[in-house]
């Protein structure tokens, strides 16, 4: 295994480990717990779950792996703040979306070549990528892993 392949494996292992941790936590939290606010006047667990799905769904587009599967989640979970008056998909529907999306992402990641991980993601121009080659697809995994870990830490507070 080359140094580059080891680096990719390290990043993906942390992603998969973070998904595993989030899955374990989500399996332990009841729907009633997910309806609670993380702290007074803060996001509810259900909002964070929908938010994570919407952000991870956008990775398909950013990584040139296809179109979003859940574009309807953008408005309520990324563009807007948590709003109890907004009817979001049910928690059970969100749980199913979470599982299906992460199974799909794993399939896509498993077939991505070493060279592809170091190619530009779709939100960076060719010009900017030439100047900043670190703005690559693997970097998307790094930033999304940190984002997932942050929100998983918030969700722990619902226990």
DSSP 64: T
20 band by pLDDT with thresholds 50, 70 and 90: very high
C-beta atoms surrounding 92 within 10 Å: 9
pLDDT single digits (tens) 55-94: 999 999 999 999 999 999 999 999 999 987 777 899 999 9
Report if pTM > 0.85: yes
Domain region containing 47: 3-156
CA distance linking residue 50 with residue 69, whole number of Å: 13
Q: Please tell me the total count of domains within the chain.
A: 1
* CATH code: domain of residue 39: 1.20.120.450
């Amino acid at each position: 295994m080359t140094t580059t392949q080891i680096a990719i494996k390290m990043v993906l292992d942390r992603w998969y480990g973070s998904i595993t941790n989030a899955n374990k936590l989500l399996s332990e939290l009841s729907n009633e717990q997910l309806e609670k606010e993380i702290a007074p006047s803060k996001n509810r667990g259900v909002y964070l779950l929908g938010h994570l799905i919407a952000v991870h769904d956008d990775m398909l587009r950013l990584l040139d792996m296809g179109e979003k599967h859940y574009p309807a989640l953008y408005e309520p979970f990324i563009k807007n703040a948590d709003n109890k008056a907004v009817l979001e998909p049910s928690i059970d529907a969100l749980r199913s979306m979470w599982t299906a999306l992460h199974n799909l992402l794993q399939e896509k990641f498993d077939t991505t070549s070493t060279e592809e991980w170091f190619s530009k993601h779709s939100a960076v121009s060719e010009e900017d990528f030439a100047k900043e080659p670190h703005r690559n697809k693997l970097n998307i995994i790094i930033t999304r892993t940190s984002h997932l870990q942050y929100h998983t830490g918030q969700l722990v507070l619902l226990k």
